[in-house]
Amino acid sequence: DARVTQTPRHKVTEMGQEVTMRCQPILGHNTVFWYRQTMMQGLELLAYFRNRAPLDDSGMPKDRFSAEMPDATLATLKIQPSEPRDSAVYFCASGLTGGGNQPQHFGDGTRLSIL
Amino acid sequence: SQQGEEDPQALSIQEGENATMNCSYKTSINNLQWYRQNSGRGLVHLILIRSNEREKHSGRLRVTLDTSKKSSSLLITASRAADTASYFCATVLQSGGGFKTIFGAGTRLFVKA
């Protein structure tokens, strides 16, 4: 079965460091989503790409977060500088456009701890 | 506040019993989807019900949608220990030129063997 691949699976670093998370969407999928999951806030949408173009990044703190899709096989989410409150599990999901009637396929996430 | 809110927050049942989870939402939707998340894993899509549908089945899953009450329910029949997971409803609504998916806080289901 095709899967969304996220790397790294775990990341522990000190505050102030740059963090880069990577996602390989399922081949042929043209939408990519970045989510952040915490116990307090649940699953929050950070950014959404269609055909590699950012459509919605209103959920992302712009001063320190950035999301890009350098090509159709790679999406990245960067945090610089990182802060302890960024500790969370970050999920990437991919899917197909289709009037909204398409499921999202999730990776297994990057568990990020900022000390 | 959340567009989709599930209840109960947690549910513990015996294997073989049925599990019912509910989801309420606030605005008009294009469709509603249910996802499952096992511990330490990503969400897995279970079933999608469109706004013009009232009920849908998939194996041991039954989903209902009442757009007048802005609510949906997910029924898992003859539960198994392997059904232990968190279950999320996701409402899909039109936003700008596309669609937006908003996930609820989830119901944690524990099925005791």
| pLDDT tens-digit series, residues A28-38 | 999 999 999 99
Asked if the model's pLDDT at residue B98 lies above 80, the reply is no
Task: Write out pLDDT tens, residues A6-18.
Answer: 999 999 999 999 9
How many other CB atoms are found less than 10 A from the CB of residue B87?
23
Task: Give residue A102's pLDDT band: very low, low, confident or very high (50, 70, 90).
Answer: confident
DSSP label at residue B17:
S
Query: Hey, which residues does B23 pair with through a beta bridge?
Result: B6, B72
Residue range A39-49: mean pLDDT, rounded = 91
Over pLDDT 90: what percentage of chain A?
Answer: 78
Nearest residue of A to residue B94, measured between CA atoms: A100
Q: Tell me how long chain A is.
A: 115
Q: What is the pLDDT of residue B1?
A: 44
Mean of pLDDT values over A68-80 = 95
Question: Which residue in chain B is spatially nearest to A47 when comparing CA positions?
Answer: B100
Q: Please give the structure tokens belonging to residue A48.
A: 């959404």
Higher-pLDDT residue of A57, A46: A46
Q: Is B106 in the A-facing interface, judged by CB distances under 8 Å?
A: yes
pLDDT digits (tens, 9 = 90+) for B19-31: 999 999 999 999 9
Q: Model confidence over B30-67: pLDDT tens digits?
A: 999 999 999 999 999 999 999 999 999 999 999 999 99
Report the gap between the CA of B103 and the closest CA in chain A (Å).
6
* CB-based contact A64:A70 (threshold 8 Å): no
Chain centroid to Cα A58, Å, comes to 14
d(CA B67, CA A6): 36
If you average pLDDT over every residue of chain B, what do you get? 93
Segment B97-110 shows an average pLDDT of 89
**pLDDT of res. A99:** 63
Could B104 and A103 be called an inter-chain contact, meaning their C-beta atoms sit closer than 8 Å?
no
Question: Which of B99, B102, B107, B108 should one mutate to test binding to chain A, selecting the residue with the greatest count of A CBs within 10 A?
Answer: B99
